[in-house]
């Protein structure tokens, strides 16, 4: 085992602006290789363990296909059928799993769980979503914005909806990548001051009216009203969030060429109208596909560092 310092990707601000410039460029190169059927196996014989404590379609598939396309192999582990589901301490699991594989992705509940896992891991750990953060998704979203509109620096992103893992990640991204963020969340579902002090975020504005938040935005984005792990609040949330549906009127307040993003899965008629998510400004399918390309770049970076080919 080398003494090289291991880097983890547990939240968006684990990487610097320079790191992002590199990873986004690698994602572009790896996407091009993929589209031209070029065989590229820099992670030959490397193994990725994927630990899921919550459901997933995109994250599982993009990591599993991604490591395979880079020449490696994935092992899917769910709490439903591992000892983690029977109370094995997370620290013990990290010690054992990280002695057998080269890199680990975890989707779990509290951010403290992934931190404790990483502290006991011999190999890089990637956050595949926690209650607090979803960095791989925002990485894909920033890349998708870049593909459609160029650099996100100086642009305006509007967030309409819950103060959830996606929003906290967008806030970190705005700080690192220097774009403006206008957000609107319903009463009772505001940002947790324990997680973020909005006054410390440059170019951040909060609005009671979701329509106002969309004013002049280059990108309007939202997410489910009820995230995984909060299902017991579903009915109360449906009532509280009724006006936080991104519809054509809201998009009309944004720039005429504004993009619409949603990390998916979506609920048409709740957080977004069918007209918007299935309309011409929506780039949700590109966003989903780009999970594959950015995560390949991320795994390559965490395992091999910076390359120049």
Give the angle subtended at the CA of 298 by the CAs of 91 and 72, to the nearest 5°. 80
Strand positions, DSSP E, 244-298: 259-262
Residue pair 215/182 in contact (Cβ under 8 Å)? The answer is yes
Q: Which residue has the tokens 């109370």?
A: 87
Q: How many residues bind ligand CP (CB under 6 A)?
A: 8
> Of these partners, ligand CP, ligand NVA, none, which one is at the site of residue 165 (CB under 5 to 8 Å by kind)?
ligand NVA
Residue pair 241/270 in contact (Cβ under 8 Å)? The answer is yes
Closest CB to ligand NVA among 102 and 162?
A: 162
| Chain CA centroid to CA 8, Å | 15
Binding mask 25-64 for ligand CP (x = CB under 6 A): -------------------------------xxxx-----
Q: Is 134 annotated as a binding residue?
A: yes
134 catalytic, yes or no? yes
Q: Is 137 annotated as a binding residue?
A: yes
Residue pair 9/135 in contact (Cβ under 8 Å)? The answer is yes
Q: Is 17 annotated as a binding residue?
A: no
Among candidate residues 92, 168, 159, the one with its CA nearest the CA of residue 130: 168
Q: Is 141 annotated as a binding residue?
A: no
- Rounded distance between C-alpha atoms, residue 152 and residue 177, angstroms: 7
| 13 forms part of the interface with ligand CP (CB under 6 A) | no
Strand positions, DSSP E, the chain: 47-52, 73-78, 103-107, 125-127, 156-160, 180-184, 204-206, 219-222, 259-262
Closest CB to ligand NVA among 227 and 290?
A: 227
> Of these partners, ligand NVA, ligand CP, none, which one is at the site of residue 57 (CB under 5 to 8 Å by kind)?
ligand CP
**Token representation of residue 46:** 């490397």
| Smallest separation, CB 60 to ligand NVA (Å) | 11
Write out the binding residues for ligand CP, residues 129-148 only, by CB under 6 A: 129, 137
Closest CB to ligand NVA among 120 and 222?
A: 222
Half-sphere exposure of 82 (CA within 13 A, CB side): 19
214 catalytic, yes or no? no
| 264 forms part of the interface with ligand CP (CB under 6 A) | yes
Which residues bind to ligand NVA, rule: CB under 6 A? Answer: 129, 134, 164-166, 223-224, 227-228, 263
223 catalytic, yes or no? yes
Angstrom CA distances, 270 to 164, 248, 274, stand at: 16, 13, 9
| Smallest separation, CB 10 to ligand NVA (Å) | 16
| 83 forms part of the interface with ligand CP (CB under 6 A) | no
Residues of the shown chain interacting with ligand CP in the complex, contacts defined by CB under 6 A: 56-59, 129, 137, 263-264
Cite the active site residues: 107, 134, 137, 223, 263, 291
Q: Which residues are annotated as a binding site?
A: 56-59, 83, 107, 134-137, 165, 223, 227-228, 263-264, 291
């Amino acid at each position: 085992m080398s003494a090289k310092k291991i880097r983890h990707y547990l939240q968006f601000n684990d990487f610097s602006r320079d790191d992002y410039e590199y990873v986004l460029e690698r994602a572009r190169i790896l996407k091009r290789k993929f589209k031209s059927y070029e065989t590229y196996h820099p992670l030959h014989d490397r193994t990725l363990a994927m630990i899921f404590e919550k459901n997933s379609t995109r994250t599982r598939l993009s990591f599993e296909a991604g490591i395979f396309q880079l020449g490696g192999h994935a092992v899917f582990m769910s709490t439903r059928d591992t000892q983690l589901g029977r109370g094995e301490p997370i620290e013990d699991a990290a010690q054992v799993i990280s002695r057998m594989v080269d890199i680990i992705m975890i989707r779990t509940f509290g951010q403290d769980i992934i931190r404790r896992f990483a502290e006991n891991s011999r190999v890089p750990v990637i956050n595949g979503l926690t209650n607090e953060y979803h960095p791989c998704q925002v990485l894909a979203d920033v890349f998708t914005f870049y593909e459609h509109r160029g650099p996100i620096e100086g642009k305006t992103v509007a967030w309409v909806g819950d103060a959830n893992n996606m929003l906290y990640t967008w806030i970190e991204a705005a700080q690192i990548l220097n774009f403006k963020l206008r957000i609107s969340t319903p009463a009772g579902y505001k940002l947790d001051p324990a997680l973020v002090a909005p006054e410390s975020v440059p170019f951040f504005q909060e609005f009671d009216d979701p329509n106002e938040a969309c004013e002049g935005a280059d990108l309007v984005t939202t997410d489910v009203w009820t995230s995984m792990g909060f299902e017991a609040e579903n009915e109360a949330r449906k009532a509280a969030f009724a006006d936080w549906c991104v519809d054509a009127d809201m998009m009309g307040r944004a720039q005429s060429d504004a993009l619409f993003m949603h990390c998916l899965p979506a609920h048409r008629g709740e957080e977004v109208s069918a007209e918007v998510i299935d309309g011409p400004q929506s780039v949700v399918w590109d966003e989903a596909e780009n999970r594959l390309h950015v995560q390949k770049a991320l795994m390559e970076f965490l395992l091999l560092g910076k390359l120049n080919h």
